[in-house]
Amino acid sequence: MKKLTSLFCLCLALNLIGQETDTVRVAESDTTMIDIGNTRIIIIGNDSEANSDTVINWDSSDDDLTWWDGIDVGVNGYFFGENFDVDPIDGQEHLEINYAGSRSFSLNFAETKIKLIDNYVGLVTGLGLQYQSYKFQNDYTLGLSGDSIVAFMDTTINLRKNKLRTGYLVIPLLLEFNTSKDADRSFHLSGGVVGGINLGNKYKQKFEVLETGEREKVKVKSKWDVAPFKLDAMARVGYGDFSLFASYALTDMFRSESNPQLRPFSAGLTLNF
């Protein structure tokens, strides 16, 4: 599956961004080498005008045995306070989570590996986009007073959706293990840290106005005092193209001490490319 995806992406890349590839032509033979990341394409042409056949040697390295690229889908939440309580502390009920509607989604689109022991052990890094939504259990409306998040009950509306979404550019550093060089039969395990740069946050409400019955939507894009950087511990385990993942934040979700101390976590399924 990874090879087919890589081949498709390669063809697209050659058509759209061919100018960014590193091309080397050997002077005395009609041979061209094109390096794209860890992949080298060797095109060997025949000098004879009567026979202009071209041979393409696809030299795919070991991308099939690196397990960051893919889509992560899971459930997320957070712990409250220094004792890592699942239930909110007094005065923080407005941030209580409804786990059924709190989801994590990541698109991991770039990866590379430093081999330590052939393809069996290596250090993996890459890039990804991560979005985490937190659906609130109670019908509080959130607002901002300076850096502080405030909450109040609006008795004129019936809330249908009430959630905060955060977005990050993420960069992993994982120690990865493979049990086989056959990607389709490899049991793989990795663990390490994932750093994140906050790209923006959005608070979203859907509600019905009780007096008129009209349905409304409210979206508020703001920093919401979310810390600009984060660091998560992550573990991933899987077989073939499917993996399970779990992560836990090593840093607080909010930047200032005027807001509750929250440590997000998430867990779910990965479909690897």
CA distances from 150 to 30, 90, 92, 222 (A): 69, 14, 10, 14
As a whole number, mean pLDDT of residues 229-249 equals 97
Sort strands 70-80 and 262-272 into parallel, antiparallel or unpaired: antiparallel
Question: Mean pLDDT for the chain?
Answer: 83
pLDDT, tens digit, 9 for 90 and up, residues 28-37:
445 655 554 4
Sign of the CA dihedral running 13, 15, 19, 21: positive
- pLDDT above 80 for 51: no
The confidence score (pLDDT) of residue 27 equals 43
Q: Give the global pTM.
A: 0.76
Question: Tokens 């906050």 identify what position?
Answer: 198
| Contact residues for 222 (Cβ-Cβ < 8 A; gap 6+) | 144, 201, 202, 203
Q: pLDDT over 70 for what percent of the chain? A: 77
Tokens of 64: 């099939």
pLDDT, tens digit, 9 for 90 and up, residues 108-154:
999 999 999 998 999 999 999 999 999 999 999 999 988 899 999 99
